[in-house]
Amino acid sequence: MYVDSPALALLDRALVRVLPAVPKPVVRRISSRYIAGTTLADACRVVAGLNAEGKLATVDVLGEEIANPDEAATITQAYLDALEAIERNGLDANVSVKLTGLGLELDVDLARRNLSTVVEAAGARGNFVRIDMEDSTTVGDTLALYRELRLAGRDNVGVVLQSRLHRTIDDVRALADLEPSVRLCKGIYLEPASVAHTDYEEIRAAFVRALDELLRSGAYVAIATHDTFLLEHAKRLLREHGRTPDRYEFQMLLGVRPDLGDALVRDGHRLRIYVPFGTHWYEYSLRRLQENPKIAGYVAADTFGRFLPGRSR
Ligand code: FDA
């Protein structure tokens, strides 16, 4: 059981800083709800369960710290396998890719080729590819590669914008001519004040502004947040802009606030869950745990719970 208290809140903040020192097996156990498993079969099983609950999915192959072109090729192939499995199993899911996983930091041409391969394969199966957005140094290349694909006639591809970044409102305007499909999120990467809002309320306000602008520009929007304040503003803006449920979707992460997702589905909104799988689970897990406001409770329950009599694991 988790008990809210000022002391625990302090402990939560302290733990976020030392999380990288927490033993990997503990991180693995307490982050398991954020990850479908290590195999494609695990991802398909989780997606089938979500589909049965009326939720869509986007499948993410974990693996961003690649060191050579062979590793990028392995991830590219894993996406081709995922697209094949989605079709074979009749799942309602698309895929999300990280350009660093496809080789962006090794060579932009390598990432371009691997991205084209995945987008082409998805297109051949009537499926869609979302390009995740990574830290601010990758935004220029990511948006340029997205534009190239769209100008080459590939319509089954979308991008992500992060409200945290100062440049985002300009990016919304610059993308408008493409009638893009944009996932809007706050942005997970901590960025310096020179390029990003650093205040929580400013990031929220920038999210509302960017969403308003995206809706005005005619973009298809995927609203990716578990923040109830933003969910309420989003619903208001969708009403004001007269958006029908086929012209937007909400998105959430596997294992985060499923209660909020269930409520959206009950109210007739489209909801897509981000489903990561793979053997490179550590970095993603750390990011999710660092965002969990109740991290201390999880670490304590894992560490001390195992020593309590009668606890089954
Ligand atoms: P916030 O972090 O304030 O969370 C709101 C509430 O949700 C919290 O108070 C808590 O109750 C709950 N919550 C949030 N995280 C939790 C956790 N890990 N465990 C338990 N509870 C938690 N970022 C990026 O930079 N590039 C990208 O491509 C993407 N892609 C993406 C896809 C999808 C589908 C989602 C939902 C998010 C992303 N993100 C992302 C991450 C995003 O930028 C952001 O870091 C997280 O969504 C958390 O921000 P919230 O808006 O949920 O607010």
Q: Give the Cβ contact number of residue 1 at 10 Å.
A: 4
- Give, for 183, the enclosing helix (H) or strand (E): strand 181-185
Domain spanning 36-277, CATH architecture: Alpha-Beta Barrel (3.20)
Res 65: pLDDT: 72
Going by pLDDT thresholds of 50, 70 and 90, the confidence category of residue 6 is low
To test ligand 1's pocket by mutation, which of 227, 228, 270, 295 has the most ligand atoms within 8 angstroms of CB?
227
168: CB partners within 8 A, 6+ apart: 161, 162, 206, 210
- Which tens digits make up the pLDDT trace of 187-205? 999 899 999 999 999 999 9
Is residue 171 scored above 90 in pLDDT? yes
Minimum mean pLDDT among 207-211, 230-234, 292-296, 309-313: which range?
309-313
To test ligand 1's pocket by mutation, which of 13, 161, 197, 226 has the most ligand atoms within 8 angstroms of CB?
226
Is residue 4 scored above 50 in pLDDT? no
C-alpha distance from residue 122 to each of 51, 180, 184, 211 (Å): 19, 17, 22, 27
Which of ligand 1's atoms lies nearest the C-alpha of 253?
36
Choice between 62 and 21, residue whose per-residue pLDDT is larger = 62
Is residue 34 scored above 60 in pLDDT? yes
- Which tens digits make up the pLDDT trace of 65-100? 788 999 999 999 999 999 999 999 999 999 999 999
Res 289: pLDDT: 87
Which of ligand 1's atoms lies nearest the C-alpha of 58?
34
| Whole-number Å distance between alpha carbons of 164 and 198 | 7
With tokens 């409102």, the residue in question is 169
Res 3: pLDDT: 39
What's the half-sphere exposure (Cβ side, CA atoms, 13 Å) at 181?
Answer: 19
Alpha-carbon radius of gyration of the chain: 19
Structure letter (DSSP) for residue 126: T
Going by pLDDT thresholds of 50, 70 and 90, the confidence category of residue 218 is very high
On whether the pTM is more than 0.85, the answer is yes
**Is residue 131 within 6 Å of ligand 1 at its C-beta?**
no
In the chain, the percentage of residues whose pLDDT exceeds 70 is 90
Token pair in block for residue 285? 């897990």
Distance of CA 10 to the CA centre of its chain: 27
Res 312: pLDDT: 35
What's the half-sphere exposure (Cβ side, CA atoms, 13 Å) at 21?
Answer: 5
Mark whether 132 is an active-site residue: yes
With tokens 């578990």, the residue in question is 226
69: CB partners within 8 A, 6+ apart: 103, 106, 107, 110
- Which tens digits make up the pLDDT trace of 272-307? 999 999 998 998 998 888 888 777 676 666 666 555
Q: Which residues of 99-137 are buried (b: 16+ CB within 10 A; e: fewer)?
A: bbbbbbbbeeebbbbbbbbbbebbbeeebbbbbbbbebe
Res 8: pLDDT: 58
Choice between 249 and 30, residue whose per-residue pLDDT is larger = 249
Res 1: pLDDT: 32
- Which tens digits make up the pLDDT trace of 122-135? 999 999 999 999 99
Mark whether 183 is an active-site residue: yes
Q: What is the mean pLDDT of the chain?
A: 91
